[in-house]
Amino acid sequence: MKSGPAALGPAVTSPAAEKLPAVRTLRISEIFHSLQGESTRVGLPTVFVRLTGCPLRCTWCDTAHAFTGGESLAIATILDRVAAFACPTVCVTGGEPLAQGNCQLLLTALADAGFSVSLETSGALDIGAVDPRVSRIVDLKAPDSGESARNRWENIDLLRPIDEIKIVLASRSDYDWAVAACHQRRLFERCTVLFSPVWNALPPAHLAEWVLKDRLPVRLQLQLHKVLWGEERGR
């Protein structure tokens, strides 16, 4: 009896396989080089890959231009464009990057290529399948965002020390909610917790005073790119 591949005869392509795209693509809003404005990587020169689309509608969203449009790019093309900036640090952001299934492949491809990769995600989708080499910056939506019902609390158990939780705050009531969530979910024991005031809504000095008064082990962050360049797109 014959054995091995020769015994299998000619390859047969199933109808389902024929429908699979030959090239894995993602819908991309923009790819640009700037300084990281947030997280513990703040200030680091970084290439941003912004994916199109988001299932959420936060009241204070500053990237609504990424909800639609963009261009369909093969993952190999995205890697080429990222590499052209000659920068070792990459941030995959959105929109909500994980809303596109091929995002996982992009993250792995970037890590395989040797980049230091972070992912900014809304916290509404499962982060469990993200390549473990990627640092996940996971939002927790406070009530004034209008999207706190979308928080996927199961993600909290998946956080590692290289991940970060980001809570954007628009008011004192948001702050009180965030403090309670941090204690109830033991967030301080899991990873860095970032508190970020909504630009032009909550005065950063107010948030600073509250954090100091309450002796909170959080990192208050401003959006460095907005301090430098305002709300200019692609910065």
Binding site for ligand SF4 (CB under 6 A): 54, 56-58, 61, 63, 94-96, 122
Count CB neighbours of 24 within 10 A. Answer: 15
Count CB neighbours of 69 within 10 A. Answer: 12
The phi and psi torsions of 65 (rounded to 5 degrees) equal -65, -15
- Of 63 and 89, CB closest to ligand SF4: 63
| Shortest Cβ 86–ligand SF4 spacing (Å) | 28
Question: Which sign does the torsion angle of CA 72, 121, 56, 19 carry?
Answer: positive
- Of 41 and 141, CB closest to ligand SF4: 141
| Shortest Cβ 56–ligand SF4 spacing (Å) | 4
Mention every residue, 6+ apart, whose C-beta is less than 8 A from residue 151.
123, 124, 140, 141
- Of 58 and 109, CB closest to ligand SF4: 58
Q: Residue 184, CB half-sphere, CA atoms under 13 Å: how many?
A: 7
| DSSP designation for 153 | G
| Shortest Cβ 84–ligand SF4 spacing (Å) | 26
- Of 133 and 150, CB closest to ligand SF4: 150
Separation of alpha carbons 200 and 227, rounded Å:
11
Count CB neighbours of 40 within 10 A. Answer: 17
- Of 61 and 130, CB closest to ligand SF4: 61
- Of 34 and 93, CB closest to ligand SF4: 93
| Shortest Cβ 214–ligand SF4 spacing (Å) | 26
- Of 78 and 170, CB closest to ligand SF4: 170
| Shortest Cβ 187–ligand SF4 spacing (Å) | 19
Separation of alpha carbons 135 and 201, rounded Å:
28
Question: Cβ distance 122 to 149 under 8 Å?
Answer: no
CA angle 66–67–68, rounded 5-degree value = 90
| Shortest Cβ 77–ligand SF4 spacing (Å) | 23
Do you find a cis peptide bond into 37, omega within 30 degrees of 0? no
Count CB neighbours of 86 within 10 A. Answer: 9
| Shortest Cβ 160–ligand SF4 spacing (Å) | 22
